[in-house]
Structure 1
């Protein structure tokens, strides 16, 4: 039992053996009294404080009862609360709880101070939370037989500490006036006007994709989906690399870099780095992995590695993690490295606390969208697709192909499918003895060779449609499609 628990269970030990736990009973009493005198005070504090924030358990129960009564559209007074506490144990000085409620209302000095009382109570509750976190961490660290590693203990503590910090950040007003909202909107419009139509978000590094998406927008959850071997990891890696290597000028004319966080849950950090080296040196991944290099190529790889080694791309390749662990680590990346983009490859490899898989996927996508808003950065999450598209004659993916949960489509601001017709044509090769079919197959392969599509199936801020792209399988590299080879645009 920690020190705080001892005091709560037996207040008599507080003065004798333990330091004074942060609390202010007078503020708690004044807050409840103010609400009982004028229920409008509840509106000022309901989003600041919760029943568990009260040090005195009875005060917390009274506040919870007041909340229920007011939410039901009734007036909370000592009289309306009385039936809830008729059978309650008397308080320490012998008064009944009903008598105590009347005393709190009579002694209320000012209703206008209710918000200040609530902030005081909440701040002290947060201080008690910090004490508990510290004591729990110390107690766990004292137990070497515990299954939790030191790194796990730090991660758990970080998550709890961030929860306290998040509460502190929500002390301000929860609502925004239209005047304030419209002023912010006007500022964005004028900034866009000054850019002369240039994209507002982070550039993906692909001109046509940027035109369609307007860049990657802050707080957006972007789902990048495709069947296996379509190249979704390659496209995500290319985008992450382009963002990390690029520079942008903010509205104040200051040139900035954009660090990127990359959760590679399937590939190791070395495999990811090898892909990028292949793309940058234009040496095939197979040649790099097998060491089939000429001396000049070895020198080129060494030079390129030194040149790009300082690129602010931060990779976490630990697999088998939960959405809670990912959120904790992403917060750490934001705090330490100031990441401006987060990429997760891929969301089906994450787990949640729900037993049923559809509910678990819903928890994961909800968590990723909340993370994008919290960190105020775009989050790209890769997703597998069901086999449904392969059963259709037109195998181009659709929103209904998103695997396992409709929450993926619901929570996403943008859904982009990666599609390469070449992959399917290649697997339809006829027998060599059928010359007519083989000739037709060769023509189809030539037309589709090296071409890909980014199919925008959902776009909360703009149009959907198809963006033609080029794909080099040897280098796992996407690029803009040359003008002379453009495919006709088709809208979904």
Structure 2
């Protein structure tokens, strides 16, 4: 029969990960040679030390060194009470022992890294303990889903703490990095600084999709918003190559996460399959395709199987849930572009039920922009437009048409609209044989299969209009022959 563990054994098992000897040797190295501090100061903070007196010694030494003074056992001890004890020694004796047992400056960074890793492990334990305690004593307003989101956010923040600034670098190194970036842009598809969309005329205007940007793609129903963003997302995933440049960006294409809040994953896959195989999606759904078309469909599906395109079809999620799932995807699979179809189907945190929808949309757009910066990926979010567009003679959208919140325009780095004149012209067909009919027919011929992408805001570049070919049967956007860009 197994004997229960006694109290002392249990205490040994539950001791938090730490190494007091390494803390002592690193502090000693700093007190002997202040240069050791600069080898760890970029990433090692006061809270990363486990022993409280060691935290105070490190903090005091840090203040002295940053003030341009020398931190030695003699200068540090003046900031402690004369009768204070540390490990049954006076402060003077303890600081002298630290200096005597110091590691060499060569080992300082390795020791600092060890202490940093131990602190991360303690933080993980803390998160786990908080999760357990909250689960036992959760207030009614804290749902399990909210708790999971909070834990995932803390875990992601903890994972990101390992990234630290390098401080000053020589101009020579900065020049080399600039040349490397230019070379990477030259080698990347289309010679772009961002990720190529697969539409060369749009890429020429925007320079590709830029990291940390919130891109709003808006339009009225039936303009082709979802088709366009699906074409862009799949083209990026299809062109993905695992190789990455010095800044961690894919050399070509990227891993795509697609939040399909309106359509199911199957519907979205059918659209992409129709576009890739060149077969009408309505024919695919009805099964009215020939043997050769079915063969084309199978071949297209085989080619698509390895594409890094991930779909989340959960409807009615909050911006917090979306952020948690995006972090998880980046951690598990990688992530280079995030697409949200569409932002009006997201909800806010729900903390204040009295909030207006405008405030809720503001929370959503602010959250999407923060997520783009946090994950360092472009976030493309679709948005609806208000009905006031329909009441104007010129139906081309404007920034004022963005529905429900001015924060969409404010938070976005890029705002672009999809517009198809053909859609509106179809409903205004005059009686055949009249002069108006021949004029209408000429206009229809000019705009048939043509869509406009109107870039009305772009923080990093010009605004303008790009014309694209749109094949409604297969929901495919492509470059228009003899396309003209119209810069503002």
1:166 corresponds to: 160
Alignment counterpart, residue 271 of structure 1, candidates 263, 267, 279: 267
Q: How does 1:318-333 map to 2 (within 5 A)?
A: 318-333=314-329
Cα shift at 1:470: 1.4
Cα shift at 1:274: 1.4
Matched, 1:22 2:17: yes
Alignment counterpart, residue 349 of structure 1, candidates 339, 342, 345: 345
Residues 28 and 384 of structure 1: CA distance in aligned 2, closer, same or farther (over 3 Å): farther
Residues 18 and 164 of structure 1: CA distance in aligned 2, closer, same or farther (over 3 Å): same
Q: Matched residues in 1 for 2:320 and 2:30: separation?
A: 37
Alignment counterpart, residue 127 of structure 1, candidates 117, 121, 135: 121
Give the secondary-structure state (helix, strand or coil) at the position aligned to 1:364: helix
Q: How does 1:185-224 map to 2 (within 5 A)?
A: 185-192=178-185, 198-224=191-217
2:72 corresponds to: none
Q: Matched residues in 1 for 2:404 and 2:271: separation?
A: 29
Give the secondary-structure state (helix, strand or coil) at the position aligned to 1:293: coil
Q: Matched residues in 2 for 1:338 and 1:479: separation?
A: 28
Contact 1:350 1:364 (8 Å CA) reproduced: no
Contact 1:223 1:382 (8 Å CA) reproduced: yes
Contact 2:343 2:364 (8 Å CA) reproduced: no
Contact 1:37 1:105 (8 Å CA) reproduced: no
Q: Matched residues in 2 for 1:68 and 1:323: separation?
A: 41
Contact 2:365 2:411 (8 Å CA) reproduced: no
2:229 corresponds to: 236
Cα shift at 1:383: 2.6
Contact 1:65 1:81 (8 Å CA) reproduced: yes
Contact 2:254 2:335 (8 Å CA) reproduced: yes
Structure 2 length normalisation: TM-score? 0.71
Task: Name whichever of 59-68 and 299-308 sits farther off.
Answer: 59-68
Cα deviation code 1:10-34 (max 9, x no counterpart): xx98985752223467888999999
Contact 1:362 1:405 (8 Å CA) reproduced: no
Give the secondary-structure state (helix, strand or coil) at the position aligned to 1:321: coil
Two-structure CA RMSD over aligned residues (Å):
5.2
Give the secondary-structure state (helix, strand or coil) at the position aligned to 1:230: coil
Contact 1:285 1:475 (8 Å CA) reproduced: yes
Residues 195 and 265 of structure 1: CA distance in aligned 2, closer, same or farther (over 3 Å): closer
2:481 corresponds to: 482
Contact 2:283 2:289 (8 Å CA) reproduced: no
Residues 338 and 141 of structure 1: CA distance in aligned 2, closer, same or farther (over 3 Å): same
1:184 corresponds to: 177
Contact 1:365 1:407 (8 Å CA) reproduced: no
Q: Matched residues in 2 for 1:93 and 1:245: separation?
A: 62
Q: How does 1:391-470 map to 2 (within 5 A)?
A: 391-427=391-427, 429=428, 432=431, 435=434, 437-470=436-469
Q: Matched residues in 1 for 2:386 and 2:33: separation?
A: 57
2:472 corresponds to: 473
2:370 corresponds to: 366
Q: Matched residues in 1 for 2:40 and 2:337: separation?
A: 35
Give the secondary-structure state (helix, strand or coil) at the position aligned to 1:222: strand
Q: Matched residues in 1 for 2:320 and 2:63: separation?
A: 31
Cα deviation code 1:93-147 (max 9, x no counterpart): 99xxxx99x999999859x99988876664433211122344556778999xx96
1:7 corresponds to: none
Contact 1:34 1:105 (8 Å CA) reproduced: no
1:307 corresponds to: 302
Contact 1:262 1:344 (8 Å CA) reproduced: yes
Task: Name whichever of 134-143 and 280-289 sits farther off.
Answer: 134-143
Cα shift at 1:208: 1.7
Give the secondary-structure state (helix, strand or coil) at the position aligned to 2:205: helix
Structure 1: unaligned runs, 5 residues or longer = 1-11, 72-76
Task: Name whichever of 296-305 and 209-218 sits farther off.
Answer: 296-305
Give the secondary-structure state (helix, strand or coil) at the position aligned to 2:234: helix
Cα shift at 1:61: 9.8
Cα shift at 1:213: 2.6
Cα shift at 1:195: 7.7
Residues 34 and 348 of structure 1: CA distance in aligned 2, closer, same or farther (over 3 Å): farther
Give the secondary-structure state (helix, strand or coil) at the position aligned to 1:474: helix
Cα deviation code 1:204-259 (max 9, x no counterpart): 2223223223333444443322232221110011112222233669799x997744
Q: How does 1:23-42 map to 2 (within 5 A)?
A: 23=18
Contact 1:35 1:41 (8 Å CA) reproduced: yes
Cα shift at 1:409: 4.0
Contact 2:188 2:251 (8 Å CA) reproduced: no
Contact 2:217 2:417 (8 Å CA) reproduced: yes
1:285 corresponds to: 281
Q: Matched residues in 1 for 2:398 and 2:63: separation?
A: 45
Contact 2:29 2:36 (8 Å CA) reproduced: yes
Residues 250 and 214 of structure 1: CA distance in aligned 2, closer, same or farther (over 3 Å): farther
Cα shift at 1:275: 1.0
Paired residues, number: 459
Q: Matched residues in 1 for 2:189 and 2:157: separation?
A: 41
